[in-house]
Amino acid sequence: MKTWLQPPRLRIGEDSEGERHATWLELFYDLVFVVAVRQLAHNLNDDVSFSGFCGFVVLFIPVWWSWIGTTLYANRFDTDDMVHRIITAMQVLAIAALAVNIHHGLAENAPGFALAYAAGRALLVLEYIRAGRHVTAARSLTNYYARGFAFAALLWLVSAFITPPLRFILWALGLIIDFATPLTARKFVAGLLPHASHLPERFGLFTIIVLGEAIIAVVDGVAEQEWDIGSAIAAAFGLSIAFSLWWLYFDNIGVSAVQRARNEGRIAVLNAWLYTHLPLVIGIAATGVGVEQVLLTEANVALPTPQRWLLCGAVALCLLALGILHHTGTIIYCKIRTKYRLFAAAIVLLIGLVGVGWLPIVVIGLVAIVCGTQVMQDMMQSRPFTRLSDPE
């Protein structure tokens, strides 16, 4: 920290800022989301059913959106002074409270979950108000964001004191306003697009967080079973799925969606990239739980239907999201890779459909083979592949 008080300033100019990386404070802030994602996974582990998955998604969205809000603010206005550090520390407390209330977050802990989310959003509104006071060029954007996010936070605050189902109706309305605020701010965002190198790195770091949950799931699944050749092979398949998803994402992010939005003046490209990450990270986190459930199932007993569909549905969701990212050109634009991802998603869903009575190692092995085949296809195609081309 260079000075105690330093007003926020715009940090989106590539000429003035150069290549930006995550700060130590941002990395510390990410740690609380490691805990939150872990709590979400525990919830899904406790209820591996369609309703359990829906509850997992409902609680995941506010957690992810909390991270998105602070990340986008820091991308534009991050200033390392005492005020920003104190507000960030308070945001860490809010997300920690959010994580604590994830367990039974749709039941008795729902009021605490709502209050924690509202507190985190209120702190973000405070940051935007402060930025607007000091950065006149961005005042229209900061005021618009502050109004939208404040109204959404108010709905969440009120929901804490109302019983269901009205409580969850207010949650839905609050999230709609939260998501719609950036989408309807195009005229304000056009001249204030995020920094082109910093934001993709931050999204990559959150993707690493949810991939880490998949690794933890493999370790936990094996630790609770007797060690034998079957469990070792199943664990290897589980790790290979996580590694394949890592490969398919990080080996294809050479084209920055932010840079494309800057060059082409298409904010829709940036929004497509941002919002498609939601199903991607949900799928990755759920894949980890699915792998753990497979490893916890007796090796000589057919994999139960809920566990089979959790694994297959989660991996298919990841592949579908990757296909959309390829199709929109927010990662490497490639028609072939789009088709392969969508075809692979269909194959994984087919495994879930016809895999009734199959042993756990067979299901996880076939899913791992599908994912590994995607990696091999990319490797074969990359030999003559130019990153900005559109191979047929």
pLDDT of residue 386: 46
Report yes or no on 9 lying in a domain.
no
- Do 242 and 378 reside in the same domain of the chain? yes
Domain boundary among 126, 158, 189: 189
Residue 55 and residue 106 share a domain? yes
Q: Is residue 3 in some structural domain?
A: no
Total number of domains in the chain? 2
Claim to verify: residue 155 and residue 275 sit in the same structural domain: no
The boundaries of the domain holding residue 279 are 198-382
**Residue-by-residue pLDDT tens, the chain, 392 positions:** 556 777 888 767 665 556 778 899 999 999 999 999 999 999 999 999 999 999 999 999 999 999 999 999 999 998 888 999 999 999 999 999 999 999 999 999 999 999 999 999 999 999 999 999 999 989 999 999 999 999 999 999 999 999 999 999 999 999 999 999 999 988 888 778 887 788 888 999 999 999 998 888 888 877 777 777 888 899 999 999 999 999 999 988 865 677 777 777 678 888 888 999 999 999 999 999 999 999 998 888 999 999 999 999 999 999 999 999 888 877 777 788 899 999 999 999 999 999 999 999 999 999 999 999 999 998 888 765 444 444 44
Residue 231 shares a structural domain with residue 292: yes
Among 189, 211, 241, residue at a domain's last position? 189
- Residue 225 within a domain: yes
Assign 3-class secondary structure to the chain: CCCCCCCCCCCCCHHHHCCCCCCHHHHHHHHHHHHHHHHHHHHHHHCCCHHHHHHHHHHHHHHHHHHHHHHHHHHHHCCCCHHHHHHHHHHHHHHHHHHHCCCCCCCCCHHHHHHHHHHHHHHHHHHHHHHHHHCHHHHHHHHHHHHHHHHHHHHHHHHCCCCCCHHHHHHHHHHHHHHHHHHCCHHHHCCCCCCCCHHHHHHHHHHHHHHHHHHHHHHHHHHCCCCCHHHHHHHHHHHHHHHHHHHHHHCCCCCCHHHHHHHHCCHHHHHHHHHHHHHHHHHHHHHHHHHHHHHHCCCCCCCCHHHHHHHHHHHHHHHHHHHHHHHHCCCCCCHHHHHHHHHHHHHHHHHHHHCCCCCHHHHHHHHHHHHHHHHHHHHHHHCCCCCCCCCC
Same domain, 92 and 155: yes
Same domain, 142 and 202: no
